[in-house]
């Protein structure tokens, strides 16, 4: 299948290489390493920078999104997107989805912001699990989501991979109430699927907007129910308090935390992939 290069590229000469390492100590490195800006991602709607993070002779590539560069939105409080990026990582790790790369909120060259390990090589084409194909060219193991027209008016269809890894992302997105799951936000890494750009998530109102509607209405598999139970327990802890709840409380309001818990319990009570809602666009634009 033809893959289109949809991930935002650094506006840099190709001779400037950045290491793209996935290591057990990535979280420590992001938290404590020295951050050096390589270049700005020119097509990003908010300020986002490709950086290197170095400590003890080890470096990795990361994306840095300072709070000072966040564009105001009508429906999300100003200055909260970097915290939501970090909260999404904490939830992904606690539930066992491992969708979001290691992410921290810390001081950087342009102030406090989210710092997230870059998935793969910043200069190599990633492998996507969402694509656009002709209606008669949907490959085996993929499902159509949206029909439309290409640049020349030819009929096309947005498709995504029908696999347990992508299905897990759909559950995770329902949990965090992801308002912007574009196809370019999902790439394959080491046999799994990684997602990024979760700044517009975790709102109190239902705002799920995604390209992964191919799973809508299906029963949740037991592995996803186990993840939901794990997250529910991690959020509650003892006497309604837990380390995860305390960490998330530094990034989210009490109402947003309550809404998160309610979404988890709703999925456990009605164990099926959600259906598109009314009164809110179900698919982000552009979808890729």
pLDDT digits (tens, 9 = 90+) for 51-109: 999 998 899 999 999 999 999 999 999 999 999 999 999 999 999 999 999 999 999 99
Residue 18 lies inside a defined structural domain of this protein: no
Average pLDDT over residues 251-256: 96
* pLDDT score recorded for residue 123: 86
pLDDT over threshold 80, residue 191: no
Higher pLDDT, 218 or 122: 218
Number of domains present in the structure of the chain: 1
Percentage of the chain surpassing pLDDT 90? 78
Residue 5 banded pLDDT, cuts 50, 70, 90 = very low
Higher pLDDT, 177 or 241: 177
Residue 98: Cβ-neighbour burial (10 angstroms; 0-12, 13-18, 19+): middle
Residue 236 lies inside a defined structural domain of this protein: no
* pLDDT score recorded for residue 250: 96
pLDDT 10s digits, 135-157: 999 999 999 999 988 888 899 99
Residue 93 lies inside a defined structural domain of this protein: yes
Give the lowest-confidence range in 10-19, 135-144, 221-230, 262-271.
10-19
In the predicted model, what is the mean pLDDT of the chain?
A: 90
Average pLDDT over residues 229-256: 88
Domain around 83: 26-117
Residue 59 lies inside a defined structural domain of this protein: yes
Residue 214 lies inside a defined structural domain of this protein: no
Residue 194 banded pLDDT, cuts 50, 70, 90 = very high
Residue 57 lies inside a defined structural domain of this protein: yes
Average pLDDT over residues 237-263: 88
pTM: 0.90
Higher pLDDT, 79 or 9: 79
* pLDDT score recorded for residue 190: 83
* pLDDT score recorded for residue 14: 35
Give the lowest-confidence range in 32-36, 146-150, 221-225.
146-150
* pLDDT score recorded for residue 45: 84
Q: Starting at the edge strand that comes first in sequence, how are the strands of the sheet with 130-133 ordered?
A: 130-133, 155-161, 142-149
Residue 82 lies inside a defined structural domain of this protein: yes
Residue 169 lies inside a defined structural domain of this protein: no
Average pLDDT over residues 193-217: 97
Count other C-beta atoms under 10 Å from residue 108's C-beta.
Answer: 22
* pLDDT score recorded for residue 278: 83
* pLDDT score recorded for residue 12: 42
pLDDT over threshold 50, residue 7: no
* pLDDT score recorded for residue 10: 43
């Amino acid at each position: 299948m033809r893959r289109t290069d949809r991930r935002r590229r650094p506006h840099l000469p190709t001779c400037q290489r950045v290491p793209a390492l996935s290591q057990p100590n990535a979280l420590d490195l992001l938290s404590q390493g020295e951050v050096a800006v390589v270049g700005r991602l020119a097509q990003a709607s908010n300020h986002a920078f490709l950086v290197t993070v170095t400590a003890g002779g080890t470096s990795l590539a990361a994306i840095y999104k300072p709070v000072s560069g966040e564009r105001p939105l009508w429906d999300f409080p100003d200055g909260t997107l970097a915290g939501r990026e970090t909260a999404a990582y904490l939830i992904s790790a606690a539930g066992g989805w491992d969708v979001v790369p290691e992410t921290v909120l810390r001081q950087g060259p342009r102030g406090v912001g989210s710092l997230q390990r870059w998935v793969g090589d910043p200069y190599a084409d990633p492998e996507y699990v969402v694509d656009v194909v002709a209606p008669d060219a949907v490959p085996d193991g993929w499902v159509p989501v949206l029909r439309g027209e290409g640049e020349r008016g030819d009929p096309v269809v947005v498709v995504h991979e029908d696999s347990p890894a992508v299905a897990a992302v759909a559950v995770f997105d329902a949990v965090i109430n992801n308002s912007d799951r574009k196809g370019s936000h999902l790439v394959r890494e080491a046999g799994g699927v990684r997602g990024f750009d979760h700044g517009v998530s975790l709102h109190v109102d239902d705002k799920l907007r995604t390209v992964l509607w191919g799973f809508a209405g299906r029963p949740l598999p037991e592995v996803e129910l186990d993840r939901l139970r794990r997250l529910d327990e991690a959020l509650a802890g003892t006497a309604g308090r837990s380390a995860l709840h305390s960490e998330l409380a530094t990034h989210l309001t009490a109402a947003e935390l309550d809404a998160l818990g309610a979404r988890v319990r709703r999925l456990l009570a009605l164990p099926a992939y959600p259906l598109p809602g009314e009164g809110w666009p179900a698919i982000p634009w552009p979808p890729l």
